[in-house]
Amino acid sequence: LQFTEEKLGQAEKTELDAHFENLLARADCTKNWTEKILRQTEVLLQPNPSARVEEFLYEKLDRKVPSRVTNGELLAQYMTEAANDFGPGTPYGKTLIKVGETQRRLGAAEREFIRSASISFLTPLRNFLEGDWRTISKERRILQNRRLDLDACKARLKKAKAAEAKAAVTP
């Protein structure tokens, strides 16, 4: 009732401390930017949406995500196979082997980067959203409910005092 009356402008609302309001605004801003950064980093690390969904499901089911061959590693494999078909002694075959090996190392570096970024960067962001932010939200709801209770009590007290004053004036 108090919440509805406040929204309709029919009840007084106890204002929170300005510094505290600023902290709440900063917390909201932090949450929003953290979500955006997390999502975009996931897109950067895994551009394929279906693979991201698959990884998400594995994560939610607490199962290990199967290792995927990176595009660089796949290209390296194709180059090596092509080099073997053309003959490793031919100039084209030698070049394919050399470039294929470089692609394999690049693919391995990409895989390590994705693993490292996930552990070192994404995990703390997820921990904030799933842990700290949930706590902040819960405490905020509790504070809001307590404030509403306080304002409702203040309104009842004000009405009681007004009724008492009216009764004292009327003989």
Q: Where are the domains of the chain?
A: 16-157
pLDDT in tens, the chain (171 residues): 666 766 666 667 778 899 999 999 999 999 999 999 999 999 998 888 888 888 888 877 888 877 788 889 999 999 999 999 999 899 999 999 999 999 999 999 999 999 899 899 999 999 999 999 999 999 999 998 998 888 888 888 988 988 888 888 876
For residue 22, the model assigns a pLDDT of 95
- CATH 1.20.1270.60, domain 16-157, yes or no: yes
Cβ–Cβ < 8 Å for 117, 109:
no
Give which of 124, 128, 77 is closest to 100, Cα–Cα. 77
Q: What sections of the chain are H helices per DSSP?
A: 2-8, 18-45, 49-60, 71-86, 91-117, 123-127, 133-169
Cβ–Cβ < 8 Å for 61, 91:
no
Q: What sections of 118-132 are H helices per DSSP?
A: 123-127
- Residue 32 to residue 53: CA distance in whole angstroms: 21
